[in-house]
Chains A and B, each alone.
Chain A
Amino acid sequence: MTALAGVFTGGIVQTVLLGAALLGAISGMLGAFALLRRQSLIGDALAHAALPGICLGFLIAGGRELGSILAGAFFTGTLAALVMMLIIRSTRLKTDAALGIVLSVFFAVGVVLLTHLQGQGGAASVGLNSFLFGQAAAILRSDLWIMGGVGLVTLALVAGLWKEFKLVSFDPDFARASGLPVTALEGLLTIMVALAIVIGLQLVGVVLMVALLIAPAAAARQWTASLGAMVALSALIGAASGAGGALISAFGRGLATGPVVVLLATGAVVVSLLLAPGRGLVWQAWAARRARARIGDGRVLLTLHALARAHDDPRYKTEHGMLHAALGVTPSAQHLARLEQRGLIRAVSHPPETTPHWELTSAGYREAALLAGRSETDAEEQGA
């Protein structure tokens, strides 16, 4: 217990937690735009393409120095985005092929550089492997300043260009017609996605980075339809996953941070997909059930109404078997009970017969007449 307290007050864990939360928040914030602009997989490609840049940065700086590594990653990431654009514009290849090519080839070159460095440096390059799967514990206090700086710049850009980014994300055609420099703004957003990826690399690594970008945004999207709330919530979920993952991987020895963070963020997505009000799967299933029940109730009511009209008697007592025959299926006890509870039908007896009978109450007759009128109008509209 004292060890635990010691860990919490210790500078290293504070640094790692703060760094992880910061990285998660930045990625989550920018991921919201990537998700809305359907650029999720571009994030995947750019993240893989950062690997050669990491190695180049390491090679140039001659050691594990975060500034040059991030600059290298940013450089190759942006280069990958440009190559991808070139392939899509100048060849018959589709976007998905361009993504796959850029992703795998840049990564392969990265692998070659990585093994070259490992062959040379030995111990010095061990830190590079942490960029494959992320190692939050490798975050240094001095790294926090760089991350904080990048975080502030992105925050300022998002806040300053909020209206423009919003318009470009939702309706680029209208944005263009309104005279906004759409291409430049889209380019800026893609560059910011590249920046978010570069920032998140230490936390989750190149392979799983796409999840840190997409999962918080996809989870947040389920709960709200407002961009502001979505970006804020996405940043929050990203920060929570990042900090939680860093904490768990710090205690579970040898666990890379990336997979833990990704599983936490995916957990948030699963919960959101299931439970989000209005959109979630549980909610949808419940609504579908209610709709089915309402339609079933309506059919029983309409059948009783049709029989009453056919016999010219609003109080016509329909025998249970007759209802079955007219409805075509066994009337379910639930439908009947619910209609009775709503005061629309009444169970009655019709001596000397002993079987159960049903009649419409006056409220039930009115409701059924309304329903019948509506379904007749519908039928006419369909006929016309």
Chain B
Amino acid sequence: MIAAFFDSIPAMILLTGCLVGISSAVLGTFLVLRGNSMLTDAISHSIVFGIVITWMLTAQISGPLQLLGAALTGVLTVLAVEWLARSGLVKMDAAIGLVFPALFAAGVLLIALHARDIHLHVDSVLLGEIGFVWLHRVSLWGLEIPVSVASLGVVMAVNLAFVLGFWKELKLSSFDPGLALVLGFAPGVMHYALLTLTSVTAVAAFDAVGAVLFIAFVIVPPATAYLLTRRLWLMMALAVALSLASCLSGYWLAVKWDVSIGGMMASMTGLWFALALLFAPGRGLLAQGLRRGRVRADHDSAVLVAHLATHQGTDAMARENTLDAIMTHLGWTHARARAAILRAHDRGLIERRAGLLSLRPKGAAMARETFGPGAAGR
């Protein structure tokens, strides 16, 4: 039963994707909050160099040694970037843009020169090949388990243990590094521990999703969750859920359309993000637009009430308190005037009496407040 599970190719592909998703999302939550997203970009590219170098030194393409050796490059990249930015010769963004392409280029060249025969292929460096991870297996407790699944399982456990074990420290050092330092929580240690684990995760996920798609798994689900909630634990839970949803839907669509599985999974994270960007309750673009429209209609109805109040009960009322007069005097289009009248009517400010617009008691009170002696700016 269990052996059959590990022999099933779709199950292994999905399991790999989910492990990558969970491991990345729990770290990504903090990386996004701390503003370190682009360090993920630098790390995930530069580990290519580390992977090639450790392979050349140890002839190992997987295993703990390979994992740590390659992850070291990621950490060194971060140190180099920070050192370069501190030297003042180049700015932080340029430092990132200088260090990782150099290491990545060196890695790609070394692969092209020395490693053409092994499974490292220049294209798979970028994209990974989640469809083939089940080919490379290791025997554990009498079970044949894909190497990627085994290493990603360990990495996920370590990441979860780190995040849950140091929850308070991570939270404080992400939101208020100054206070964390004063209270003795060593935000610097947290920073490098987080980036070290990001490097290790990038190496473990490398075979499956490659250098670039990994960034999508780390950044996009937490960023999407960030649009939906303000609570840290909920953000992390949502990020994990979104990752899993991306893996499942991405796999299904990739098989359906016969396209790259990793690419489709990463594309799905983008789809959830786009949906959240548009429709997030309260903060999405749609909600923002509606709120802007309502504020504008409220403002227009207040102007309308002021106009009506000026002429209410005067001789000019028959001429002024009409739709036409409002349009010409306030310079409004027909649609805008109509919207303002409807809004004012809905709020119980005005009514139509004998073909003319006139104020109801609530509107009259509002006008008194606008024009009253106590009103500011008058």
**Chain A residues proximal to chain B, CB less than 8 Å:** 35, 38-41, 43-44, 48, 86-87, 90-94, 96-97, 99-101, 103-116, 119, 129, 132-133, 207-208, 210-211, 213-215, 218, 221-222, 252, 254-256, 258-260, 262-263, 266, 269, 273, 279, 281
Q: Which among B181-189, B253-261, B296-304, B335-343 touches the partner chain?
A: B253-261
A90-B285, A104-B266, A115-B259 known; A41 vs B97 contact (CB < 8 Å): yes
Complex: A218 Cα to B122 Cα, angstroms: 28
Q: Which among B12-20, B36-44, B307-315, B352-360 touches the partner chain?
A: B36-44
Q: Which chain B residue lies CB-closest to A132? A: B126
Contact partners of A254 in chain B: CB under 8 A? 112, 116
Q: Would you give the shortest CB distance from A119 to chain B, in whole angstroms?
A: 5
B216 on the interface (CB 8 Å rule)? yes
Contact partners of A106 in chain B: CB under 8 A? 270
Complex: A215 Cα to B112 Cα, angstroms: 23
Complex: A108 Cα to B221 Cα, angstroms: 14
Q: Would you give the shortest CB distance from A323 to chain B, in whole angstroms?
A: 38
The answer to whether B266 and A40 have CB atoms under 8 Å apart is no
The answer to whether A207 and B212 have CB atoms under 8 Å apart is yes
The answer to whether A211 and B263 have CB atoms under 8 Å apart is no
The answer to whether B270 and A101 have CB atoms under 8 Å apart is yes
Complex: A18 Cα to B216 Cα, angstroms: 37
- Per-position 1/0 for B101-125, Cβ under 8 A of A: 1101110110011001000001100
- Taking A108-B266, A208-B101, A262-B101 as given, write out 9 further A-B residue pairs in contact, using a Cβ cutoff of 8 Å, ordered by the A residue number: A35-B94, A104-B212, A108-B216, A112-B263, A114-B260, A211-B101, A211-B102, A211-B105, A263-B106
**SS class, residues of chain B in contact with chain A:** helix
Q: Select A96's contact among B36, B108, B113, B226, beta carbons within 8 Å.
A: B36
A99-B38, A255-B112 known; A129 vs B223 contact (CB < 8 Å): no
Complex: A227 Cα to B41 Cα, angstroms: 30
A96-B35, A132-B126, A263-B106 known; A109 vs B267 contact (CB < 8 Å): yes
Q: Would you give the shortest CB distance from B252 to chain A, in whole angstroms?
A: 13
Q: Select B215's contact among A93, A104, A252, beta carbons within 8 Å.
A: A104
| Residue picked from B38, B94, B102, B108, most chain A C-beta under 10 Å | B94
Complex: A119 Cα to B126 Cα, angstroms: 18
Q: Would you give the shortest CB distance from B352 to chain A, in whole angstroms?
A: 39
The answer to whether B267 and A108 have CB atoms under 8 Å apart is yes
The answer to whether B37 and A266 have CB atoms under 8 Å apart is no
The answer to whether A104 and B258 have CB atoms under 8 Å apart is no
Contact partners of A35 in chain B: CB under 8 A? 91, 94
B89 on the interface (CB 8 Å rule)? yes
Contact partners of A86 in chain B: CB under 8 A? 277, 285
A256-B122, A266-B102 known; A104 vs B213 contact (CB < 8 Å): yes
The answer to whether A256 and B267 have CB atoms under 8 Å apart is no
Q: Select B89's contact among A100, A108, A211, A222, beta carbons within 8 Å.
A: A222
The answer to whether A266 and B273 have CB atoms under 8 Å apart is no
The answer to whether A263 and B213 have CB atoms under 8 Å apart is no
The answer to whether A119 and B94 have CB atoms under 8 Å apart is no
Interface residue ranges of B72-115 to A (CB < 8 Å): 87, 89-91, 93-94, 96-98, 101-102, 104-106, 108-109, 112-113
